[in-house]
Amino acid sequence: MTGAAFRFKISVIGDGQVGKTSLIKKFTQGSFETDYVKTIGAQFSKYEKEIDGDEIRLIFWDIAGQDDFLFLRPSFYKESGGAIIVFSLEANDLGQRSFDHVNNWYENIIKFCGEIPIILFANKVDLVEENKLDDSEIKKKVEELGFLGYYLTSAKTGHGVHDAFNTLIKKLHNKAKALPTK
């Protein structure tokens, strides 16, 4: 017996330079590139996997974080089944600013997609001392905004990447399986 087939569009959002493209590449191709290349508008990556005999087809929309592309976001978000908001754990302006902007990204995705499952990726954990990381602010934000949860990730080392992506994918699969068939 063949399982069902499902398709999900997942928007991957967050400030520029937080590692969105690298995280997608690490998950879908297992690779990491050290050179930063700014995403122009949006890119998408296709990925297939199987869950409980069901064929899952995923399209990850990697949406540019720079404000230059603000006007394009509503059309890029359209029909997203889930979202990943990425911020950087770096102890610098980029890291702090990207965390401060999580609420803006959340409000934006909810505005255009409604209540969809959203997960938070705290990326670049390889650049901090994980045992000294105070994640109380992250936990507070996750609870406040109703995220599925958060994961400490590193596109460079792969730390947490598969668990993080798979948590969202399993949530989308379970949600779709629970819907009545036509």
Average pLDDT, integer, range 151-165: 96
pLDDT digits (tens, 9 = 90+) for 38-92: 555 567 789 999 999 999 999 998 866 666 656 666 778 889 999 999 999 999 9
For 15-28, write each residue's pLDDT tens digit.
Answer: 989 999 999 999 99
Number of domains, the chain: 1
CATH number at residue 142: 3.40.50.300
List strands edge to edge, sheet with 42-51.
42-51, 54-63, 5-13, 82-88, 118-123, 150-152
The parent domain of residue 40 ranges over 5-178
Contact 108, 78 (CB under 8 A): no
* Among 74, 87, 73, residue whose Cα is nearest residue 118: 87
Amino acid at site 102: V
